[in-house]
Amino acid sequence: SKDLKIYNSSETLYMEYNQTGKVKGLTNTKIRQALNLATDRKSISQSVSEGLDGIPTGMTPAGLAKTATGGDFAKAAAKATAYAYNIKKAKKLFAEGMKEAGLKKLTLTVEGTSDSTTSKSTLDT
């Protein structure tokens, strides 16, 4: 129908490190940076949405808000953080962080707190 209109919708789902201070490795900045760099946002997003969603670059979904000059706020915010999947850099930072923290190994547990289909499939990815 020529009257059909499709509207984009925005939703933000995120992973957060529970930094209670109980996991010694997560108190180290380089280890946290390494975990961020080792997160393949493209693969997770494409797997969860079966290729329908864009690649997340931060907390603000693309097309949700504009900058003062009319640009997409999500793009401006992504440039400010400049995190991208980089496994080589992640391994380097992780090794440096482990040495700084005096650790030989680090065990982390991923837990989900939502019953939503998207959250569940993200944890399976």
Q: Pull the structure tokens for residue 112.
A: 């989900």
Mean pLDDT of 77-100: 88
Q: Are 93 and 25 in contact (CB under 8 A)?
A: no
Per-chain mean pLDDT for the chain: 81
Mean pLDDT of 50-61: 72
Domain 24-120 adopts which CATH fold?
Dipeptide-binding Protein; domain 3 (3.10.105)
97: pLDDT strictly greater than 90: yes
Question: String of b and e for 94-110 (b: at least 16 CB within 10 Å)?
Answer: beebbeeeeeeebeeee
